[in-house]
Chain A
Amino acid sequence: MGAIEVENVSKRYGNCQALEQVSLDIQAGEIYGLIGPDGAGKTTLFRILVTLLLPDNGSARVEGLDVVKDFMAIRRHIGYMPGRFSLYQDLTVAENLDFFATMFGTTITENYENIREIYSQIEPFRDRRAGKLSGGMKQKLALCCALVHRPSVLFLDEPTTGVDAVSRKDFWNMLYRIRESGVTILVSTPYMDEASLCDRISLIQKGHLIETGTPAAIVAQYPHRLFGVSGKPAYPLLKFLRRCPDLLRCFSFGSEHHVAVEPGTISPEQLQARIQAEGFSDVVVREIEPNIEDCFMELAKEERQES
């Protein structure tokens, strides 16, 4: 039995289909990532699973308990960290933690071991108001509040949004340690680079799951060759690449453009020569390994063409 089982769940707001026939099977003790852009339906799925919303169709179980029928029982087993910082800004760090501990029928001292590692980092600021904490510290406090009652399933909705790179790395290390104690973690993120940190992921787009699997397996399924192209000036280069009919797709990716080509049609050297002939300077074209974002773009495009 999985820790979280979702079967054909649909949810509609007015004429906006937030989720359509979503199914998931998440094993106990894994970090499962829900990857997708803003508005893909991640938060809706989270809210259904933490019993805050009712699905229109389909069913879902958390720890074998039905999210509709047994919602009160589920609420004792789960920890939830909503997307926005949702603690009391006018209460101090200690007061917030104490409040949420009491609400779940426990105390900080009783479960101190469970949160010690994270809480020790913010404990020096225990008398500071939560509203005056930095983004990274707020996130740690929110995680403490979600963990203080020893949940067996942890729902983290975009926990790293708005957090700096170093704190994000810290955060993922914390998640790995939490997983070691047997907690199942469902985490959503719009950052594709965090996808590879999960045990398994689902890519979600416009309410559909477009792919599910381990990050490595998803990357391995990428059907094209991928070149990283850089050159100056960057934006005209992108426009030029998009005009070439033999290149499949082209996306700007930081300082590089990622260009997908059909295997066997064009080599990096040929492409480099063609770009240089157009008068671009500092041109570098190299073959690269696709990452999750490339896969997402590819899959999202296929999905759009199908529908």
Chain B
Amino acid sequence: MKEFFSFIRKEFRHIFRDRRTILIVLVMPIVQIILFGFAVSTEVHDARVDIVGDTGDPSVRQMVERIDRNPYLNVAAVYESVTEVAERFRAGKSDVAVCFERDFDERLHHYGKASVRVLGDGSDPNTAQMIVNYVNGVLSAVQGDLSATGGPQMASSPHVQYMYNPAVLSSYNFVPGVMGLILMLVCSMMTAISIVREKESGTMELLLVSPIRPMGVIISKAIPYLALSLVNLVTILLLSRFVLGVPLRGSLFLLSVVSVLFILASLGIGLLISVISSTQKTALLISGMGLTMPTMIFSGIIFPCESMPVILQYVSDIIPAKWYIIMVKKVMIEGVGFGYIYPEFLILLLMTVFLLVVSVRLFKRRL
């Protein structure tokens, strides 16, 4: 037991004496959460809206005012004809143009029908779609008001509401994603590198020659990173709750259990990497290219898995982070209990057991 504690103390010394390790293990998670939460948000603020139409028209004026009042939209300029709008798009001065047809108010009240054209700059499809959606939202809200006040009856339009994320905040998506990414990075990459470093520096030779069992080496290597991951988990949760305003609707206990399971899976991956690589560079490359990238792409953080080709969906199924992120979303955002996440939990549990068993078996007790 004394060997064990001495080994763990040594590991902590390695971590705390290397500025780069500290940076990766403790500072990077905070930076990432804040970056993803604020800077890298897919929301659009202050989109510039050009209006084409007659601002003397009362209905048009009402709509323009509503657009301008929307926190996400700003009316930038008003034009008489559509031709000028094209130039504005080209110069990058405008994000979207709303074109009202001539005699908008009159047509609306006489025929109960008037047309609006929304032109988006499609060079960045995601942003364009988002802005157009905002504009649509405003327009349909005005429509609703008009119908309610006994105005002309208009064709019914669906009223969309997002149950768990009414404001459609991207941090609701990114926080679980970043949690998965960071825990995986800290556990897998750092464990792998710390073991491979001993191989590279030759100290592994001495450890193997000592009477300590390989299992002891593995556990002592894993425990410090497990502890640091828990620290990270707490920081991320605090940051996301109090800085980003992401709710924690489900049970904290369940979330912790799920996270510890995922941390163990990541440790398994880290051990596996350390077994197959002989230099720190290789370990870094494998965890960077072979782990972080696929996790980013296939775990549904950035691209929804559902819209991938079937083959890639199968690929995404073998990424542990995907299952973890699904569970975190369900527990944190939807606030469901274990009954709703047990399929994912079981999959991750099987993966964890498999990874740990394989990597421990492969861990060599000789050179």
> B366 and A51: CB pair below 8 A?
yes
State whether the Cβ of B6 lies closer than 8 Å to any Cβ in chain A.
yes
Q: Which of A84-116 contact B (CB under 8 A)?
A: 84-91, 95, 98-100, 102-105
State whether the Cβ of A76 lies closer than 8 Å to any Cβ in chain B.
yes
Residue of B nearest to A74 (CB): B209
State whether the Cβ of B13 lies closer than 8 Å to any Cβ in chain A.
yes
A103 to B3, alpha carbons, bound, how many Å? 5
Residue of B nearest to A88 (CB): B203
B: contact size bracket: 20 to 34
A102 to B201, alpha carbons, bound, how many Å? 20
State whether the Cβ of A266 lies closer than 8 Å to any Cβ in chain B.
no
Which chain B positions have C-beta within 8 A of A53? Answer: 366-367
The proximity string for A residues 16-60 relative to B, scoring 1 for CB distances below 8 Å and 0 otherwise, is 000000000000000000000000000000010011111000000
Given contacts A100-B210, A102-B2, A103-B212, contact A82 B205 (CB under 8 A): yes
- The CB with the most chain B CB atoms within 10 A, among A50, A85, A103, is that of A103
The proximity string for B residues 260-277 relative to A, scoring 1 for CB distances below 8 Å and 0 otherwise, is 000000000000000000
B interface: dominant SS: helix
> B367 and A86: CB pair below 8 A?
no
CB contacts between A and B, total, < 8 Å: 73
A86 to B203, alpha carbons, bound, how many Å? 5
Residue of B nearest to A90 (CB): B17
- The CB with the most chain A CB atoms within 10 A, among B18, B202, B203, B208, is that of B203
State whether the Cβ of A220 lies closer than 8 Å to any Cβ in chain B.
no
State whether the Cβ of B363 lies closer than 8 Å to any Cβ in chain A.
no
State whether the Cβ of A296 lies closer than 8 Å to any Cβ in chain B.
no
The proximity string for B residues 202-234 relative to A, scoring 1 for CB distances below 8 Å and 0 otherwise, is 110111111110000000000000000000000
A71 to B202, alpha carbons, bound, how many Å? 19
> A82 and B366: CB pair below 8 A?
no
A47 to B208, alpha carbons, bound, how many Å? 11
> Which of B2, B202, B210 contacts A82, CB < 8 Å?
B202
State whether the Cβ of A78 lies closer than 8 Å to any Cβ in chain B.
yes
> A86 and B201: CB pair below 8 A?
yes
State whether the Cβ of B93 lies closer than 8 Å to any Cβ in chain A.
no
Given contacts A88-B10, A88-B14, A99-B10, 12 further A-B pairs with CB under 8 A are: A47-B205, A52-B209, A53-B367, A80-B206, A88-B201, A89-B201, A90-B13, A98-B6, A102-B3, A103-B3, A103-B212, A104-B211
Task: List, sorted by A's number, 15 A–B pairs whose CB atoms are closer than 8 Å.
Answer: A52-B367, A53-B366, A53-B367, A71-B366, A72-B211, A75-B209, A80-B205, A86-B205, A86-B206, A91-B13, A91-B14, A99-B7, A100-B210, A102-B3, A104-B210
Please report B residues at the A interface, Cβ cutoff 8 Å: 2-3, 6-7, 10, 13-14, 17-18, 201-203, 205-212, 366-367
